[in-house]
Structure 1
Amino acid sequence: MSFPPCHRLMLAGSLCLLFTDPALANNDSVFDLGQISIVGTEDGNNLNTSVGVSSTEMRRHDRETLGEALNLLPGVSLSKVGARNEQMVYVRGFDLRQVPVFIDGIPVYVPYDGYADLGRFTTFDLARVEVSKGFSSMTYGPNTLGGAINLITRRPQKEFEGELGAAMSFTDRLENNANWRYANFGTNQGSWYMQAGFSYLDEDYYRLPGDFSREPLENGGRRENSDRQDKKYSFKLGLTPNETDEYAIGFVKQDGEKGNPPYAGHRSSSQRYWRWPKWDKTSTYINTATTLADHRVKVRLYHDIYENDLYAYDNGNYNTQRRGSSFRNYYSDYMTGLSLEDEWTLTPATQLRFAYHFKRDVHHEHDAGEPWQRFEDQTQSFAIEGNHALTDRLTLVLGASHDRRDSKEAETYTAAKGIIDEDTGRKYANNGQLGLFFKSDEATQWRFTIARKSRFPTIKDRYSYRFGSALPNPSLKIEHATHFEVGVQRALTDQLNLNAALFRSHVKDLLQSVRLANSVCSNPPCSQMQNVSEARMNGVELALDGKLGEWDLNTNYLYLNRQNRSGGGIRLTDTPKHKAFFSLGRQFGPWSWVGSADVSSDRYTATDGSQKASGFAVFNLKGGYNFGNGLQLDASLQNLTDKEYAYSEGYPEAGRTLVLQANLSF
């Protein structure tokens, strides 16, 4: 992997930085309209503070799902909601409700709870994934308390291009437990282009490590109820009538199905025998950019549909539903929205951007035999962002926004009272940020940023009974966070970059699921979403990326200290204090190999401190051969030492796995 020289040093996440291949550094294959950055970044002022991972790195490290891909990045730690079998990530300690997911700048997180199961998002059709942290563009819109995650799709560069890929996964007993295949095709005809993609991932089960100890509902070997199936279709058609204007329509359809492995820990725990026969999402959107004199106007329109079925059974055979704890639950959600931007240059030293966002979230749900319940929120945001070059070396960035959420309707159902109209209302939030970017020399650039961001509690935060295991809390307050960061990026050589950041976040009215007495719920253990007053996130990020002679090096480290300042013994869960990724590889003619390690310290997985997942170091090894005609064959060993580990206590991950794969690019 080679890195292009940079005439002007870029901050972390700009196109010459971490995990970036040469094609992406020139914006080749990246859908430019799908990117969101600080105002002025696109014109070479290099003010962006995001980090990103390219399609090359995702394939190099076999990161087939979004959660696994994000775990490559500094400041990001993978988590698992074991009881729901969902991949999540934390960005400097902020979860997916606080760091929402976008596709080409379009929000795609679930309207009801603000989450997105990252295990359902495959990465085969993506050009790049970018993560913005506390100091992020106001163009993302509301609810970006801790940042944003943006999945950027491909934009073809040639008259005809594409790739075909297939892989087979084997357990350490050489059982073929999973297969996947994918295809991407594109054409660019100058005045128009088209991109299409397809992927299919089918896993029957995964095998636990050989030293796993037998538990009441898990005897080792093949993990119970661990199957998954994910299909994804994507399509984009774009018009480029001239050098400055572009108009594109995009379509992404995801169809998912998965099991939910039962708890396999040492504690006594009420079991969930759950399956998701449907986890489907369809996103349709329009992205446009038009230049009018000194103004560049962008428009984003979107409609996103989410369909979800969840079945709870009586036992581990998943064949009866007679008990009171069993159910069939159905979601039918959609969101419709638009974003408008106007960016222009006031003077050679000053640029401005105005933005307006509107989003309508509608959630329908019911259990079989019960009436549908309807919820609706409408959210708006007005934002301004600008930068001014104070000197040749020093640039000031300012941003502010005003957000409003109107809760239009909220219905809940109980057998005793039927449909109940819950309290609704209106909430307001103001946000602002300031950044100074100082280029001390040709190889070094410093950043000093302060950002004040907010998040409205989701529909689920406020109203959900969680199948009788929680109490609603409609009066939840808005979360607020103030972020401070001092960072530096330095080019140690032409091909080796160092990035370091010291950060601190003050969080007010942080929401956390808090355990309650079992007697107050019909289906314990019982909890409630509460504002736990104050929290602090303090940390350090270090990343070193590039080449050491003939060796390719990618490594990063995160130290994160999350503190609940409200007392009460409530633990902040699901994040390790220490997290690192290390990768070292080399090319030998047509041969290549890469070794990597994911390292994590232990983490609490229950707010009362009763459950903790142990720390781990998981090693991977991969080798490949390139035939020189676009065909690449690879073999990789994942979890090389067959380590028993878990992101959530009681939900162990796969043991040693062999993957054989082929990729043909043209």
Structure 2
Amino acid sequence: MEIRPLTLSLAATLAITGQLQAEEQTLQVWSSPIAASRDILTLDTFNQLEKHDAAEALATVSGVTLDKSGNRNEMLVRVRGFDSKQVPIYYDGVPIYIPYDGNLDLSRFLTSGLASLEVSKGYTSLLQGPNQLGGSINLTTQQPKKPLEGRIGYRQGWSRGERNARDMDASLGMKADSGFLQLNGSQLKRDFTGLAHGVTNPIVGENGKRSNSASEDKRGMVKLGWTPRESDEYLFSWIGQQGKKNSPPYAGTAAVQPRYWQWPEYDKQSLYYQGITALGGDFTLKSRIYHDTFKNTLLMYNSAAALRNKQGNYSHYDDYSNGASLQLAANVRDSDLLSFATHWKDDVHREQGSKNGPVDRYADRTWSLATEYQWAVADALDAVAGISYDWRQSLEGLKHESNGTLTRYDGNRQHAFNWQMLMKYHFMGGDTLSFSLADRTRFPTQKERYTTSRPAYAVSALVNPHLQPERAQSVDMSWNGALSELWRYEISAYYNHLSNTILSHDIDAQTVQNRNSGEVNYRGLDFGLNGAMGKKAKVGLNYGLIHSEVKQRSAGKITGLPRQTLTTWVTFNWLENWSMTLTEEARSASYSDNAGTRKAAGYAISHLRTDLQLGKGFSVNAAVQNLFDKEYALTEGFDESGRQFWAGLEYRF
């Protein structure tokens, strides 16, 4: 299905939304205020659009697309074409992306307990740290605004006439002049994914239940804040996540043996401190220290019989990252701001191929020095410019071979210089026009440098520890304007040139190796619209158009990247205590393999949610996802959920 521009124009007249309240968010992203992102989703938006995890929520932003790794059942995102390795993920500004391969399953991150999601697509402040080749994503956790507040919610899910899911969450916040305490807990458990009616392939599933599709995610958070002065704040946060998931087998057109993989452990913990200290009237010091862990156990069953007999392979990751950052900002003149930042981060990956087997170990140390200047050029013109120098050193590369020998890889060191600038002009009436240029990099992951996993049967991989950083030159022009007092829009045109791209090369018929040899161009358009139709309805639309051009024929197609995406929604408030939101999501076809032989067809699906306030803090809600029970897939051969019902009760105080 191709989404025609004419269809999008018609959809824009029919959609209604809740407005994003970016100005109300307190974010921990280190950046000059002029360069702050406008792409911020709030908790109210998550609920209105019925988004349970970070991946689903992020895909509603123009220029952000879901990119599903089918065999691993990982939900990733692309930002203006850049994949998950090229766009780092942060919790309150603290990096949490996986050290080994850079990928992070965002469907394991529940939206309950989050205050907002922020996406930086154009100018992305280098003060935030290294590896921001294609932008960044920040998950902001909740923080109390009242002396005492809390929330308890429970939701039950049904599919194919059976209860198949439950969603529970609770939060408690307390705030005083000297500080605050925030507690959160949540759980989302799915016994199975229901299939759309009409799906009859026995590999996909039987009796309407997707094979090997159960999952469970638990999350807890403790956030303690101390505010000894109005200008100072010190936060201590712990976030613990425990996940389990299965991967449904491939059931598409290719001659591929269905695999039934299971992750009994997908756990992540983040412990971090953040501080803001005013040093006199013109200087501010920001500081961070963090410890982040990731444990992942994979059981690989390569057939249904192997799953029944529990005969499969085993893989276990036990990774951690330690890091610290400092930023010093100085007010210069009346409206100028000069900032300096330094970052240190150690990443350690430990891997076992059997339960009692030896442990392979890889360790890297990364440093970054950055500075950024915000300049009020004139009353209506602002400018921001930043530069950074990053370097990364391999501390250890140790692998136990199958024949009992031990391999120690050569040490390696990479370095990179980054720069970017932004100009923003403010027109009468509040409209703004911004233009930015950037030249940023990403260091290769440990997996890209050291993996020897077989990419295909009878094919081996050569390591390449001396891979160099990927580099991207980006141009962005954005107009943010008002059609009236009730309607606003933003339109952005961009061009990204990715060079030194890491590609797999055929050395001979049995050997491949990763090398810096690729070039890719992404050019596109992002469009957003929001407003109100009287007092009873609000409207929203986010549309993304992107074209990718791969310079090397041997590199094949870009996978998981549709040409067009659309999210549009309408929220009706016919009564003061009752609302209803209708959401439409659509995307065009995308390639599912580099050869271009497998395609996931385009689709359009609808969702409906209604909320009723009962008074005294109580409310009830009900929702239907995939309202018309459409069969669709993000990756060919891996069907997504059919019609899903939800009903819930919530209490707030």
Q: Which deviates more, 78-87 or 546-555?
A: 546-555
Equivalent-residue separation in structure 2 for 1:430 and 1:19 (angstroms): 41
Conservation of the 8 A alpha-carbon contact between 1:50 and 1:133: no
Conservation of the 8 A alpha-carbon contact between 2:412 and 2:465: no
Q: Tell me the amino acid that sits aligned with residue 166 of structure 1.
A: Y
1:643-662 equivalences under 5 Å are 643-662=630-649
Confirm or deny that 1:458 pairs with 2:445.
yes
Equivalent-residue separation in structure 2 for 1:169 and 1:628 (angstroms): 24
Match of 1:504 in 2: 495
1:175-214 equivalences under 5 Å are 175-214=162-201
Match of 1:160 in 2: 148
1:162 aligned counterpart, secondary structure: strand
Q: Tell me the amino acid that sits aligned with residue 320 of structure 1.
A: N
User: Which of residues 387, 392, 404 in structure 2 aligns to 1:405?
Assistant: 392
1:92-241 equivalences under 5 Å are 92-171=80-159, 173-216=160-203, 218-219=205-206, 221-241=208-228
Match of 2:29 in 1: 36
Distance 1:297 1:74, change over 3 A: same
Equivalent-residue separation in structure 1 for 2:506 and 2:308 (angstroms): 31
Match of 1:334 in 2: 320
1:25 aligned counterpart, secondary structure: helix
Confirm or deny that 1:26 pairs with 2:30.
no
User: Which of residues 613, 625, 628 in structure 2 aligns to 1:626?
Assistant: 613
Match of 2:35 in 1: 47
Shift of 1:531: 3.4
Match of 2:566 in 1: 580
Equivalent-residue separation in structure 1 for 2:486 and 2:335 (angstroms): 30
Match of 2:309 in 1: 320
2:84 aligned counterpart, secondary structure: coil
Shift of 1:461: 1.3
2:296 aligned counterpart, secondary structure: strand
Match of 1:81 in 2: 69
Conservation of the 8 A alpha-carbon contact between 1:182 and 1:199: yes
1:460 aligned counterpart, secondary structure: helix
1:568 aligned counterpart, secondary structure: helix
Equivalent-residue separation in structure 2 for 1:534 and 1:229 (angstroms): 39
Shift of 1:575: 0.7
Distance 1:637 1:551, change over 3 A: same
Match of 1:362 in 2: 348
Conservation of the 8 A alpha-carbon contact between 2:251 and 2:258: no
User: Which of residues 602, 608, 620 in structure 2 aligns to 1:615?
Assistant: 602
Q: Tell me the amino acid that sits aligned with residue 607 of structure 1.
A: N
2:379 aligned counterpart, secondary structure: coil
Conservation of the 8 A alpha-carbon contact between 1:284 and 1:302: yes
Equivalent-residue separation in structure 1 for 2:232 and 2:595 (angstroms): 55
Distance 1:627 1:501, change over 3 A: same
1:84 aligned counterpart, secondary structure: coil
Distance 1:314 1:89, change over 3 A: closer
Distance 1:206 1:622, change over 3 A: same
1:636 aligned counterpart, secondary structure: strand
Over 3 Å off, 4+ runs: 18-22, 24-27, 215-220, 319-322, 466-470, 512-517, 527-532
Equivalent-residue separation in structure 2 for 1:160 and 1:49 (angstroms): 30
Equivalent-residue separation in structure 2 for 1:58 and 1:428 (angstroms): 39
Match of 2:336 in 1: 350
1:409 aligned counterpart, secondary structure: strand
Shift of 1:266: 1.8
Deviation per CA, 1:339-388: give whole Å up to 9, x if none.
Answer: 10001111114210100000000000011153111000000000000111
Distance 1:628 1:532, change over 3 A: farther
Q: Tell me the amino acid that sits aligned with residue 227 of structure 1.
A: A
Match of 1:436 in 2: 423
User: Which of residues 467, 471, 484 in structure 1 aligns to 2:475?
Assistant: 484
Match of 1:15 in 2: none
Shift of 1:468: 6.4
1:533 aligned counterpart, secondary structure: strand
Match of 2:13 in 1: none
Confirm or deny that 1:262 pairs with 2:260.
no
Deviation per CA, 1:153-187: give whole Å up to 9, x if none.
Answer: 1111111101111111111x320000010001100
Deviation per CA, 1:410-436: give whole Å up to 9, x if none.
Answer: 122321352211233100100000111
Distance 1:100 1:438, change over 3 A: same
Q: Which deviates more, 242-251 or 486-495?
A: 486-495
Conservation of the 8 A alpha-carbon contact between 1:19 and 1:54: no
Shift of 1:567: 2.6
Q: Tell me the amino acid that sits aligned with residue 586 of structure 1.
A: F
User: Which of residues 539, 542, 552 in structure 1 aligns to 2:524?
Assistant: 539
Shift of 1:568: 2.5
User: Which of residues 376, 380, 401 in structure 2 aligns to 1:393?
Assistant: 380
Confirm or deny that 1:561 pairs with 2:547.
yes
Match of 1:520 in 2: 510
1:627 aligned counterpart, secondary structure: strand
Could you tell me which runs of 5 or more consecutive residues in structure 2 were left unpaired when the two chains were aligned. 1-16
2:258 aligned counterpart, secondary structure: coil
Conservation of the 8 A alpha-carbon contact between 1:215 and 1:266: no
Q: Which deviates more, 192-201 or 440-449?
A: 440-449
Q: Tell me the amino acid that sits aligned with residue 609 of structure 1.
A: G
1:270 aligned counterpart, secondary structure: coil
Deviation per CA, 1:108-139: give whole Å up to 9, x if none.
Answer: 11111111110111110011110111411112
Equivalent-residue separation in structure 2 for 1:628 and 1:321 (angstroms): 52
Equivalent-residue separation in structure 1 for 2:203 and 2:110 (angstroms): 33
1:509 aligned counterpart, secondary structure: strand
Equivalent-residue separation in structure 2 for 1:141 and 1:248 (angstroms): 20
- Determine which structure has greater relative contact order: mean sequence separation of CA pairs < 8 Å that are 6+ residues apart, divided by chain length: 2
Q: Tell me the amino acid that sits aligned with residue 328 of structure 2.
A: D
Distance 1:320 1:513, change over 3 A: farther
Match of 1:548 in 2: 533
Equivalent-residue separation in structure 2 for 1:515 and 1:373 (angstroms): 26
Let me know the Cα RMSD of the aligned residues: 1.9
Conservation of the 8 A alpha-carbon contact between 1:100 and 1:148: yes
Q: Tell me the amino acid that sits aligned with residue 144 of structure 2.
A: P
Residue identity (%) = 33
Match of 2:3 in 1: none
Conservation of the 8 A alpha-carbon contact between 1:183 and 1:199: yes
Equivalent-residue separation in structure 2 for 1:379 and 1:347 (angstroms): 34
Confirm or deny that 1:591 pairs with 2:578.
yes
Shift of 1:491: 1.9
Q: Tell me the amino acid that sits aligned with residue 539 of structure 2.
A: L
Equivalent-residue separation in structure 2 for 1:36 and 1:272 (angstroms): 40
Match of 1:14 in 2: none
Confirm or deny that 1:290 pairs with 2:264.
no
Equivalent-residue separation in structure 2 for 1:247 and 1:621 (angstroms): 41
Figure out how many residues of one structure are paired with residues of the other and give that number.
628
Equivalent-residue separation in structure 1 for 2:418 and 2:127 (angstroms): 12
Distance 1:263 1:529, change over 3 A: farther
Shift of 1:492: 1.8
Could you tell me which runs of 5 or more consecutive residues in structure 1 were left unpaired when the two chains were aligned. 1-17, 522-526
Distance 1:491 1:53, change over 3 A: same
Equivalent-residue separation in structure 1 for 2:382 and 2:649 (angstroms): 47
Equivalent-residue separation in structure 2 for 1:397 and 1:19 (angstroms): 31
Deviation per CA, 1:4-58: give whole Å up to 9, x if none.
Answer: xxxxxxxxxxxxxx96555x6334xxxx3x521531x1xxxx4323411000000
Equivalent-residue separation in structure 1 for 2:452 and 2:47 (angstroms): 41
Equivalent-residue separation in structure 2 for 1:468 and 1:89 (angstroms): 23
Distance 1:91 1:354, change over 3 A: same
